[in-house]
Amino acid sequence: MAHETLTNHPDLWRDKIPARRVDSHKYDYGHAVIYGAPELTGATRLAASGCARVGAGLVSVLANKDTADIYRETLPGHILVRDDLNWDDERVSAKLCGSGGLATDIDFTSKVPTVLDADALAHLPDKLSDHFILTPHEGEFAKAFPALEGSKLEKAQQAAEQSETIIVLKGSDTVIAHPDGRAVINTHASSNLSTAGTGDVLAGMITGLAAQGMEPFWAACAAVWMHGEAAIRFGPGLVASDLPEMIPDILRELS
């Protein structure tokens, strides 16, 4: 079925952001698991911060024994760290793999929403499912889908259909494409995002919204827009760690 390509705007997804209830507890807003990078630990910390700030009820970082203490010493107390990369729980509602590197194999059979970023984009299976979200920049996309041709929109749509996943093809005009043909283009961004680590924050934000039960496609659209809004508000001098601190005010206004 053909779908109109839409411009990203809160009117598309504002009512899909999970509302907070008076009689709720943390697991009502999801448990997000982030697999910790074995060396570039800063990327994992940025992703975890974005994930928590966007509203995930609980964020856990799974690390190997060599890096777990680094994460325990550098992450805030509200983010849990476990030195067991195989740990799992039935309450886990979203996962993130690849930010900063891979410490373990990816479970491509996972049934929970899973964001694949950076190193997790290499050696993908031919088919996944629409609860996987791929977040490549254009260089990573070209390596993952070398045979695709056409405009940025066309390539993202082809990749989504071919892999049966949601594609977030990043850039000043980020394309979010669903395998069913839906596509949204986001130009609500800032050149100040062209700095190390901002993509890790975005991956964490998508994970955090998906963990709360937001449909992965709309979680990606919302996170991309808010990520751009945070950069626009902060302005020049932005570094990636500034982005999570901007999210609460944006969420307050959206609600």
User: In the chain, what are the domain boundaries?
Assistant: 5-13+24-254
Average of per-residue pLDDT values in the chain: 96
Query: Looking at the predicted structure, is the pLDDT value of residue 222 above 80?
Result: yes
87 token code pair: 């740990």
Backbone torsions φ then ψ of 132, nearest 5 degrees: -95, 140
Confidence of residue 1 (pLDDT cuts 50, 70, 90): low
Q: Once rounded to an integer, what is the mean pLDDT over residues 80-85?
A: 96
Measured CA to CA, the distance from residue 86 to residue 105 in angstroms comes to 10
For residue 47, the model assigns a pLDDT of 98
Q: Measuring CA to CA, which residue among 69, 99, 65 is closest to residue 83?
A: 65
Residue 137 pLDDT greater than 60, yes or no: yes
Work out the burial of residue 48: count CB atoms within 10 Å of its CB; fewer than 13 is exposed, 13-18 middle, 19 or more buried: buried
The pLDDT tens digits of the residues spanning 15-66 come to: 999 888 888 888 878 999 999 999 999 999 999 999 999 999 999 999 999 9
Domain 5-13+24-254: top CATH class: alpha beta
